[in-house]
Amino acid sequence: MTTPTVTTAGPARRGGRLLWTPARVRSVQAETARATRLVLEVPGWAGHVPGQHLDVRLTAPDGYRAKRSYSVASGPEQPHVELIVERLPDGEVSPYLTQQLRVGDELEVRGPVGGWFVWHASLGGPLQLIAGGSGVVPFLSMLQHREAAGSDVPARLLYSARALPDVIGADRVAATDAGVTLVLTRQAPATWQGPTGRVDARLLHEHVVPPDARPQVFVCGPTGFVEAVADALLELGHPPERVKTERFGTGGGAT
C-alpha cells in the first residue's frame, strides 16, 4: 500500500468513481467575439493537472440532457476553475454556456478528467506547445502553472489563430516568458511581421524546438489541424512517443 499524495474529499478525490456535482458560476466574461470565459466555484475541487478536462452536463426540464468536455483554462494554483467556451454556430451546449448562463447559476460538472494530455513542472521539458484556435486552452493552464511553480523548463508556444481579435488568452500569451509564435491564418494587420497561413512542415521546422533537443510536444486543436501537424512533426523527426495530441470536434451529438 502506498499513501496517496493527494487526499481530499469531494468530487475530485483520488480513487473512486467520479460523480456529477453542482458548480456555481462566479463570472461570465467575453474572451473574444466568439469565446466566453466562465469562472466556476466547484465545491470539493481537489485541484487538477494542467491539460485535464472538466465535463459539463445540461439538463432540460423534460429530462433531455447534453454533455460536453472542456479543457480547464486556469492553472492549478488559481483559486477557481476557469473554462473558455467557443460558441459554435450550430451548437447546442456552447450557445447556452456563452449566451444564457449567468453569474450565480448552477452547472453540473464532473472532473478533473484525463490523465494523458497533461503536463506538470515535474515532468520537465523542453516543452513545445502547438495550438490551433481554441486548442490553446489547455496550454494556458500549463503556462500559468509553469510560471507559478517557478519552473525553469524552456517552453515555446506556436499558436495558430484566424486573426488578432480571435486570440484566446491574449493576456497570458503576452505575459509569458515562454517563446511565443503567433500565426495568423485569415487576416493579419498591414503591420504584421509574424508568420501567416497554414501551419505546415516549413513553419514547424522554423518555429518548433528541434527533435535533437528532445522536446515534449503537445498538439491541440480541431481534428484536421492536429492530424496535419502531427504528421508533419513525425516527418521532421520528432519521435511519436514524444508527441501527444488532443483533437476536439466541432459538432457532437447529445449523449
Partner 1 sequence: MTTSDMTADGTADEGPESRRLDGNAAAGPLRELFSVDIIAAACTCAHCGGTTALAEHVLYADAPALVLRCPSCTGVVLRYASAGGQARLDLTGARLLVLDLAHDGRPG
Partner 2 sequence: MSLISRGFAGRARTTSSDRLPPGQYDAGGSFPVLTAGPTPRVDIGTWDFTVQGQVDEVARWSWQQFRALPREDVTTDIHCVTSWSKLDTRWQGVSLDTILGHVETAAEYVTVFSDGGYTTNLPLEDLTGGRAWVVDTYDEEPLAAEHGGPARLLVPHLYFWKSAKWVRGLALTSTDEPGFWETFGYHSYGDPWRSQRYAGD
Residues that bind partner 2 (CB under 8 A): 20, 22, 57-62, 64-66, 92, 96, 100, 102, 105-108, 253-254
Rounded to a whole number of angstroms, the minimum distance from the CB of residue 89 to partner 1 is 9
**Does 114 sit near partner 1 (CB under 8 A)?**
yes
Q: Exposure pattern of 147-181 as b/e (b: 16+ CB <10 Å)?
A: beeebebbbbbbbbbeeeebbbbeebbeebebebb
Residue 188's CB is within 10 A of a number of other CB atoms, namely: 18
DSSP code of residue 242: G
Q: Which three cell numbers stand for residue 29?
A: 466574461
Contact pattern for partner 1 over residues 74 through 93, marking x by CB under 8 A: ----------------x---
The answer to whether residue 124 forms part of the interface with partner 1 (CB under 8 A) is no
Q: What is the DSSP letter of 206?
A: H
DSSP state of 180: E
Query: What is the 3-class SS of 31-100, one letter each residue?
Result: CCCCEEEEEEECCCCCCCCCCCEEEEEEECCCCCEEEEEEEECCCCCCCCEEEEEECCCCCCCHHHHHHH
Greatest CA span in the chain, whole angstroms?
62
Nearest partner of 130 among 234, 47, 208, 19, judged by Cα: 208
66 binds, among partner 1, partner 2, none (CB under 5 to 8 A by kind): partner 2
Half-sphere exposure of 184 (CA within 13 A, CB side): 14
Residue 214 Cβ vs partner 1, minimum distance, rounded to whole Å? 19
The grid coordinates of residue 124 equal: 520537465
Q: Between 2 and 41, how does the x/- string for binding to partner 1 read (CB under 8 A)?
A: ---xx-------xxxxx-----------------------
104 versus 115: smaller Cβ distance to partner 1: 115
Residue 250 contacts which entry, partner 1, partner 2, none (Cβ below 5-8 A, type-dependent): partner 1
197 touching partner 1, by CB under 8 A: yes
Binds 61: which of partner 1, partner 2, none (CB < 5-8 Å by kind)? partner 2
Residue 17 interacts with which of partner 1, partner 2, none, CB < 5 to 8 Å by class:
partner 1
| Least distance in angstroms from the C-beta of 96 to partner 1 | 18
Report if residue 122 touches partner 1, rule: CB under 8 A: yes
Residue 105 binding: pick among partner 1, partner 2, none (C-beta 5-8 Å cut-off by kind): partner 2
Query: Using CB distances below 5 to 8 A depending on partner kind, what does residue 100 bind out of partner 2, partner 1, none?
Result: partner 2
Q: Taking the complex as a whole, how short is the minimal distance between the CB of residue 190 and partner 1, in angstroms? A: 19
For 201, residues 6+ apart whose C-beta sits below 8 A from its C-beta are 232, 235, 236
